[in-house]
A and B are shown apart, each in its own frame.
Chain A
């Protein structure tokens, strides 16, 4: 049980527990995070990785991020280039920073092209501004050729509705899960996030739908 005292949160953890979870950052063991974990266990949560295949039948990756390295924007480019700032609670805001890159350029690798039905997730506590981590949207329309920066994960699910996942990640539970996974030098590993199985999971209908079939 963690204790709060004059700006300090303290928790005593067993060595065996630390070894098993393999995390040494004290924030990971704080009570509100542990509570999320307990609740998720009660809800028979499954790792998101269960629904993210390494590769889809069409050859695309289940999860990937934008090209790392120098950013070469091209105002005349044919590809819209999404950055963390474009990902808003209400969806993708193309007006806020309407950057573009050249088609098939360094910043437009085919693997991270974005399609309708993909979920976008901001994966990094960019410059330590924690509020930029864990933003997510589902791409609801066909916006032409789109690509993403390295701080965004493009996720293509199989066997679960991306809107359901997105809603969960935006919930208090999901946000805490994101915060817990956060570390500056670490990409939040979505595959390991737990998501509660929806009641109608076994029926194949309801909350669990094929991806934009």
Chain B
């Protein structure tokens, strides 16, 4: 009987217009709050708050090296964010991003390192891309199949599969695939001709960023202007409505989860062949998880992923730059990122609607 009361209370909350605007402004507000909180944290923890704040806010934009790294990072976040958004639009959750990025990157490195010398660069790169897509896509698709066939919750299964993949990949990198001539727990370096051309030396920014941005626009087009994209949105938004219109929503679970995994695999490929030039242990750290945060900020809108990823990458780069310049402890950096993640996931909606001006979706 309490369950009934709870339902009733939620019903009361639910009626009210302008929800979409409120939610969008909630994302922006969360970002602002994250910045403010980070500022306070840095100011409190740093020995020289002035310098620390300058390197948090200004340096990422003035130092070409940091700017390039920030752009590169946002490219990766756009791709993983797309994966999360696509899964969500189709009515599923992909929580296995980390493992899919890892698997995709490792598979790509394997191809790039073992491709015959005489094979042309574009073909080798294409092969590596296909393998990375397949590796990530397979992991995602398994969750999709488990869901549509056996009703297994894909949120759990994708997370579990990803967690299983990580130690296997760790073993491969520190074991059979490790470059014995190096001290790193990493594979051998990828030959220079098989790397994405850098744009802003010496930063890690490379032409895969262009690919990421184009991909975001492609998915925006795909979801709004193709019949398949439309049906994916309908199936994800209300499965009963999909059935009403005469198609099965579960038909899209496997392809959507597969595509989501493939996008994560692609991000792994971009990271190893663009950012790092090799595959070191745990390289996927954060790319998968932060993709979720970015997708949340962007409200799963593919084009909005671009500024959202940039904003998130800035918070990341800014906090680590402040860290380096002012001798803040490593924990402070981690703490700031955790705060950002938490605020972004909470979205601050109820608070936002009370205190915001009406034009930003506030309550009248």
Q: Do A and B come from one complex?
A: no
